[in-house]
Amino acid sequence: MAPPFHAEQVGSLMRPAELLAARSAAGLTNTYSQLTKEVQEATEAAIAGVVTKQLELGIRPITSGEYERDKFYSGFFETLEGMEIVEAIPIPEGYRTNFPTLKTLKLLGVTTRDGIVAVKRIRHAKCAYMSEWESLRRLLPEDKWRECKLTMPPITHNHMQLANGTAYSPSAYTSDREYFQDLAQAYQREFQELFDAGLRSIQIDDPCLLFFVTDEFREGCVADGIDPDKMLDDYIWAHNQCLAGKPKGLHVGLHLCRGNMAGSTHIMTGSYERIAKKMFTELDYNTYYLEYDNDRSGDFEPLRHLPIGKNVVLGVVSTKSPDLEDLDELVQRVHSAAEVIARGQGRSVEEVIQTSLGVSPQCGFASMSLGGGRGMTMELMWEKLLLVKRLAETIWK
């Protein structure tokens, strides 16, 4: 199965000034805030505009830009029965030891964060992202629905960052496996309902899975009495539980990056090498959207572990820098990645390029409402997306 599109985008787009103004006027500062009528109207107008722009420029897949959300992970966990929003969790006390994001938050002067904890057994009572999907699909003829993509946070999001043992109440669950089993059932139900409503592509955004490549995070696990390798195995199992029995014809990919906070802030550096074999061979995703825009991501050698039948979308265009990459250099980088994959699979470079590769920006353009790379503008964002499109047209003629 080749990736749905050779030219991809990760999902989030910079918000127009009118939408940001509406959110600010309504005081929507909480990640999990419900939209007011005025903000909902501004959101729908902004989505209509950004969808029209994508259609005009031929940008695929079509997304809503995550305009409905304050942050990329908003909108799912807080809709599940049994989950409760916990406000102002203190940093660092309420989080895992050496959790890499905390260092960046400290530099930004952030002292608390909100989180979501399971206080009762988790149950999927309604489709969390149906309203987002309906807002997007009503702007398009039905034959365009399969050209759309929706993003979701990973099953491990809360468990990975909150202090050990605090992602759920002891009265709700007695083990991580119980917690993940119920949460995975919620993902399975969400996938099925969105698929039944016409959605054909979902991307799971997991910027934290790569923390397992760092000594800092792994040492923090040990300090908390946790074996980081076992924890990674448990997380792979949990991800796969979400995919168990997913509808045939639903494409689900996994996006991995190194942080995408406002002002071009990345959270960590490091090659995929440490987890690549497990990631590619044990996770059951069709496609991996990988950050590969600069040296922070390491070289392409970890791609030698990619099995035949799986895909990689190379995020070679940066959303963090306003500088436009050189097209010829990007073409060369894609061929270099294909050579590594071909060597690992025993196939030709051309076969790998035609069946297993795509290109994209390395991350979204605004993983939070007020996000955006340093120096990035709406105009530059569209230029970057068009560069990705030209890159794909050059390679896949």
Write down all domains in the chain, each with its CATH number in brackets: 17-395 (3.20.20.210)
- Is 70 exceeded by the pLDDT of residue 259? no
Confidence at 265, pLDDT banded by 50, 70, 90:
low
Asked if the peptide bond before residue 170 counts as cis, ω within 30 degrees of 0, the response is: no
DSSP state of 38: H
Q: Is 348 exposed, middle or buried (0-12, 13-18, 19+ CB in 10 A)?
A: exposed
Model pLDDT, residue 261:
63
The answer on pLDDT for 190 being more than 70 is yes
Mean pLDDT across the chain: 93
Q: How far apart are CA 201 and CA 195, in angstroms?
A: 9
Using 50, 70 and 90 to split pLDDT, how confident is the model at 372? Answer: confident
Per-residue pLDDT tens over the stretch 194-204: 999 999 999 99
Q: What is the pLDDT of residue 179?
A: 98
Q: In this structure, are residues 218 and 228 in contact, taking their beta carbons and an 8 Å threshold?
A: yes
pLDDT in tens, 286-309: 999 999 987 666 789 999 999 999
Q: What is the mean pLDDT of residues 240-256?
A: 96
- Return contacts of 226-232, CB within 8 angstroms, 24+ apart: 226/164, 232/275, 232/278
Q: Is the pLDDT of residue 216 over 60?
A: yes
CA 27, CA 319: separation in Å to the nearest integer? 28
Q: Which residue has the higher pLDDT, 180 or 371?
A: 180
Residue 35 pLDDT level (bands cut at 50, 70, 90): confident
The predicted-structure confidence for 68-82, as pLDDT tens digits, reads as follows 999 999 999 999 999
Instruction: Report the share of the chain in percent with pLDDT over 90.
Output: 82
Question: Which phi and psi (to 5°) does residue 151 adopt?
Answer: -110, 155
327-360 pLDDT, tens digit per residue, is: 999 999 999 999 999 999 999 999 999 999 999 9
Residue 1's pLDDT band, with cuts at 50, 70 and 90, is: low
Apex CA 220: angle with CA 214 and CA 221, to 5°? 95
Q: b or e along 107-144 (b: 16 or more beta carbons within 10 Å of the residue's beta carbon)?
A: eeeeeebebbbbeeebebeebbbeebbebbbebeeeee
